[in-house]
Amino acid sequence: MKKAHNITLLGAGLIGTFYAMSIQGQRSRDRIRTICALTDGEAEAFARKWGIPKWTANMKKAAEDPETDIVIVGVPNYLHKKAITLAAGAGKPVLCTKPLARNALEALEILKIVDKSGVFAGYLEDLVYTPKTLKSIAAIKRGALGRILWVRSRETHSGPHSAWFWDKKLAGGGAIVDLACHCIEIIRSFIGKEVRPTEVMCLADTVVHPIAAEDSGIALIRFENQAVGQFEVSWAFRGGMDLRDEVAGTEGTIWLNHFLRTGYEMFTAAGGKGYVAEKAEGETGWLFPVGDEVHELGYTHMFSDMFDALDGGREPVETFLDGYIVNVIMDACYRSAKTRRWEPVKLERWYKGTKKEKAKAPKKTAKGRYSLIKEERMPDGTLKQLLQDWKTGHVVQRIRGA
């Protein structure tokens, strides 16, 4: 029998629910043994719903429960550092939901706490683990798309449920902190996590909701090898949750649709009288549910990787260092939105042993005077070539004899 885990879960909101569904789903051997919520009542209700034997509103007590061997942090952003500190203090492996922190400074403090305590730490970025994403990353690593040039990651919907998300101070920001943390890690995973992000240009707006934070953001992220990532996030989108990724490389392209168009289409005039999908609008007309949300959104594969990594003595695919890098990029986005310029990505930590990856773009100064743009064999047997003439700046055509 393989090792089974007993878990302390901190947080009984929507994300806690998704975690419980996933961790205790199907034939899993792992179990949540302690749930901690804001109040005893909420904790008890959650415990009863998910068959969890112990509940509390005391985070410290929950983290230190001697019967659990892992602490999962699913509390609001402003409590991540505190929760991680408690888990590390208890000497337990800690897994923290996204984003790791409200900003890079807080993320760095978290990194230091965890490094010092030496506990296993995993970053719960589910969308990097969707089955489609995992398979796409594998195909890209095998070369199916050639050199990756561009990634678009989009996550937009009509806004979150809980109050704290809308509170800039508690969350660390608005739609960017909430949604772009997903997009950034998706972009990095497709481009290659070993490739350094160098600078960002970001536009952040508050277009619909009367809030201090931004409810929309778009950014371009430049990587050291010339690849570009592009995210679009919004709390002002109508029509459901739009969750799409696009990757373009020199040899191919990948289009992923995680939510609204997944081969499941339903028209109902009666209304389903039930849950359609996260952030769905309306219960009649054409609806686009997803099959098994926790699976499609990556939660299942994410926890498998986390627990298997822990059991196997290896690092998980997503670590706190990744969470820190995401926070650094988001900080650069916020700076750029203010300065309205490209802002550098100021990384104080990076993976050990990685080399700088150079841009492989075509040289504009060829050895000779001409570069071949393309050539075509003509019906009469001649070869037609288009050449960039670097001296004159013109493109010339050359016909080579049959």
Looking only at residues 145 through 204 of this chain, which bind its own copies when binding is defined by CB under 8 A? 145-146, 149-150, 152, 156, 159, 163-164, 166-170, 201, 203
- 263 near its own copies, rule: CB under 8 A: yes
Q: Looking at 41, 53, 91, 271, which residue binds its own copies (CB under 8 A)? A: 271
Instruction: Compose the 204-223 pattern: x for residues touching its own copies by CB under 8 A, - for all others.
Output: -xxxxxxxx---x-x-x-x-
Q: Are 203 and 337 in contact (CB under 8 A)?
A: yes
Six token digits for residue 215 = 């409810």
Which residue number, 58 or 253, has a Cβ lying nearer to its own copies?
253
Q: Looking at 48, 49, 112, 238, which residue binds its own copies (CB under 8 A)? A: 238
Which residue number, 326 or 387, has a Cβ lying nearer to its own copies?
387
Q: Looking at 41, 53, 91, 272, which residue binds its own copies (CB under 8 A)? A: 272
E strand or H helix that includes residue 152: strand 148-156
Six token digits for residue 385 = 């070539």
What are the residues whose beta carbons fall under 8 Å from the beta carbon of 81, sequence distance 6 or more? 101, 106, 109, 110, 113
Tell me the closest approach of the beta carbon of residue 20 to its own copies, in angstroms: 14
Which of 98-106, 280-288, 327-335, 348-356 is the region at the interface with its own copies (rule: CB under 8 A)?
280-288
Tell me how far apart the alpha carbons of residues 380 and 367 are, in angstroms, rounded to a whole number. Answer: 31
Tell me how far apart the alpha carbons of residues 352 and 196 are, in angstroms, rounded to a whole number. Answer: 12
Q: Looking at 226, 335, 349, 357, which residue binds its own copies (CB under 8 A)? A: 226
- 105 near its own copies, rule: CB under 8 A: no
Half-sphere exposure of 258 (CA within 13 A, CB side): 30
Which of 12-20, 59-67, 80-88, 383-391 is the region at the interface with its own copies (rule: CB under 8 A)?
383-391
Tell me the closest approach of the beta carbon of residue 396 to its own copies, in angstroms: 8
Contact set for its own copies, span 300-319 (CB under 8 A): 300-301, 303-304, 307-308
Q: Looking at 66, 269, 313, 402, which residue binds its own copies (CB under 8 A)? A: 269
Amino acid letter, 200: V
Q: Is the dihedral of CA 151, 153, 154, 159 positive or negative?
A: negative
Q: Are 17 and 79 in contact (CB under 8 A)?
A: no
Instruction: Compose the 338-377 pattern: x for residues touching its own copies by CB under 8 A, - for all others.
Output: --xxx------------------xxxx-x----xxxx---
Nearest to 219 by CA among 234, 209, 207, 208: 234
Tell me how far apart the alpha carbons of residues 390 and 397 are, in angstroms, rounded to a whole number. Answer: 14
Tell me the closest approach of the beta carbon of residue 227 to its own copies, in angstroms: 9
- 27 near its own copies, rule: CB under 8 A: yes
Q: Looking at 40, 67, 292, 348, which residue binds its own copies (CB under 8 A)? A: 292
What are the residues whose beta carbons fall under 8 Å from the beta carbon of 118, sequence distance 6 or more? none
Tell me how far apart the alpha carbons of residues 190 and 200 are, in angstroms, rounded to a whole number. Answer: 17
> Does the bond joining 99 to the residue before it have cis omega, within 30 degrees of 0?
yes
- What pairs with residue 374 in β-bridges? 386
Tell me how far apart the alpha carbons of residues 307 and 32 are, in angstroms, rounded to a whole number. Answer: 13
Which of 9-17, 77-85, 117-125, 281-289 is the region at the interface with its own copies (rule: CB under 8 A)?
281-289
Tell me the closest approach of the beta carbon of residue 219 to its own copies, in angstroms: 10
- 265 near its own copies, rule: CB under 8 A: yes
- 55 near its own copies, rule: CB under 8 A: no
Q: Looking at 116, 118, 142, 358, which residue binds its own copies (CB under 8 A)? A: 142
Tell me the closest approach of the beta carbon of residue 43 to its own copies, in angstroms: 19
From residue 130, give the alpha-carbon distance in Å to each of 134, 235, 283, 304, 366.
6, 22, 26, 12, 43
- 240 near its own copies, rule: CB under 8 A: yes
Q: Are 284 and 267 in contact (CB under 8 A)?
A: no
Q: Looking at 11, 93, 172, 289, which residue binds its own copies (CB under 8 A)? A: 289
